[in-house]
Structure 1
Amino acid sequence: MMDGLKLVVFDWDGTLMDSADRIVSSFRGAMRDTGLPVLDEAEIRSIIGLGLPEALAALYPDVPLERRQQLALGYGQHYMGIDTTPVRPFDGAEALLEALAKRGLWLAVATGKSRRGLDRVLEETGLGRYFFATRCADETASKPDPLMLRELMFEAGAEPSASLMVGDTHFDLDMAGHAGVPSVGIVHGVHGREALAACSPLVIVEDLFELHDWLAQAHIHQPLNQDVSA
């Protein structure tokens, strides 16, 4: 593995989990139920990665808090039960996590999901066993604030230079930048290559297979603080 790398932190939705379509569909269903303007897919995808209160404030800045809270409840009901849009781990997710764990790396999740939502999906997918710790936006600060990443580094005893953040949104990579942690962008999620490149990650990969190869082979001896995205 990379020299000195100890901790790899993954975002969840859009990075390890192919869930963006259900997120969008659930938001739109809840918007209809609460009588708020139903926003288009691009607007909704732009806030995926934030904590739910922060996401709703960004989407509806002029709507009273009480209405946004009603929308949040409706979103949870749609996502957890009403909406049946398929959700599954991205291809290669478990193989990647298993390979990294076998190499002795500490693995963690930093997500905008609620604790209830993350715990449920970790149990359903069976992927929870790979992570020594997880952080959710409803128990710490939402991205791009670096608090959840700093908490995970503290728990692992890892310095920023020995850590790596992997995510599909600029919120993930901005959080990493605020924490002084190198990052990798992945484009199979919700934010495109251009948005990720603006955050200066080490590299931008197409999918988890390419990430696996990059970590395992291509850059074993590349210093973590050197930009190899060109």
Structure 2
Amino acid sequence: MRPRQFDLIAFDWDGTLFDSTALIVRCIQAAVTDVGGRLPTDQAASYVIGMGLMQALAHAAPDVPPSQYPLLGERYRYHYQQHQNDISLFEGVLPLLAELKQRHHWLTVATGKSRQGLDTALRTVELHGVFDGSRTADETAGKPSPLMLHELMGEFGVDPARTLMIGDTTHDLQMALNAGCASVGVSYGAHEPGTFAEFSPLHVAHSVQELRDWLAANA
């Protein structure tokens, strides 16, 4: 068997493994209008996916005063919790992860979600034991800061040259670049893949199956 190229693989969550982009967009829009802000466009709401929650909401709602941010966050969480059980992993993600585990990669999550939100999602989709580590935006710096990846690499003693970040947004790819890591983009999430080129991903996958095939041949 050929040597693996990457010891540590870090996945974004929403829009990369979890089919939640459309729901997040709707929840951001509902939260902003709940507090009297101007309705963000789909593009504006999807752009902020991957950032930490309050950073994302503030960016999506520039006309909402900071004094309203706590309420804005509460309304987003309210709308998301009403429908979080309606969404699931993209088809093909579980076999992809199983194959990577069989090849003894360390699998981790680097996400803009909160710790509570990620842990709830992991319980919902019965992924206990699949991931070896994770970082969330409320326990370290949000994307595109490289701190999430630096902490994960430090935890497992892996160099940047042996680390791969996989995500659906420019925030993910910029984080990888900032951390000195390679990246792979996926086009089926929140950001248009035409914006990925400046971040030099090794590959852009247009489906989970294509991602699976690329990782089998290159990771």
TM-score between the two structures when normalised by the length of structure 1: 0.90
* Match in the other structure for 1:75: 76
In the alignment, the residues of structure 2 paired with residue 176 and residue 77 of structure 1 have an alpha-carbon distance, to the nearest angstrom, of: 31
CA contact (8 A) 1:144 1:174 kept: yes
Aligned 1:31-180 pairs, distance under 5 A? 31-81=32-82, 83=83, 86-180=86-180
1: distance between equivalents of 2:117 and 2:194?
30
Q: Alpha carbons of 1:177 and 1:2: their partners in 2 closer, same or farther (altered >3 Å)?
A: farther
Report the CA distance shift for 1:50/1:22 in structure 2 as closer, same or farther (over 3 A): same
Aligned to 1:6: 7
Identity %: 44
The Cα of 1:193 is off from its aligned counterpart by 1.5
Moved over 3 A (4+): 1-4, 83-86
User: What is the Cα deviation at residue 11 of structure 1?
Assistant: 0.1
Larger displacement relative to structure 2 (63-72 or 153-162): 63-72
Per the TM alignment, residue 162 of structure 1 is displaced from its structure 2 partner at its CA by 0.5
C-alpha distance in 2, partners of 1:48/1:94? 23
Q: Closer, same or farther in 2 for the Cα pair 1:80/1:108, shift >3 Å?
A: same
Match of 2:30 in 1: 29
Amino acid at match of 2:87: V
Across the two proteins, how many residue pairs are aligned to each other? Answer: 218
Compute the TM-score of the two structures, normalised by the length of structure 2.
0.94
Q: CA deviation at 1:214?
A: 0.9
* Amino acid in structure 2 at the alignment position of 1:166: I
Aligned-CA RMSD value: 1.5
**How far apart, in 1, do the equivalents of 2:128 and 2:186 lie?**
21
Post-superposition Cα deviations, 1:184-228, rounded to whole Å, max 9, x if no partner, equal 0000101111111221101111122111111112x36xxxxxxxx
Equivalent pair of 1:197/1:204 in contact (CA under 8 Å): no
Deviation at 1:28, TM superposition (A): 1.8
- Say if 1:33 and 1:74, in contact at 8 Å, map to a contact too: yes
1:2/1:184 CA distance change after superposition, 3 Å: farther
Q: Is the 8 A contact 1:22 1:86 kept in 2?
A: no
User: Matches of 1:84 and 1:146 in 2, distance apart?
Assistant: 28
Deviation at 1:49, TM superposition (A): 0.7
CA distance in structure 1 between the partners assigned to 2:114 and 2:24 by the alignment: 13
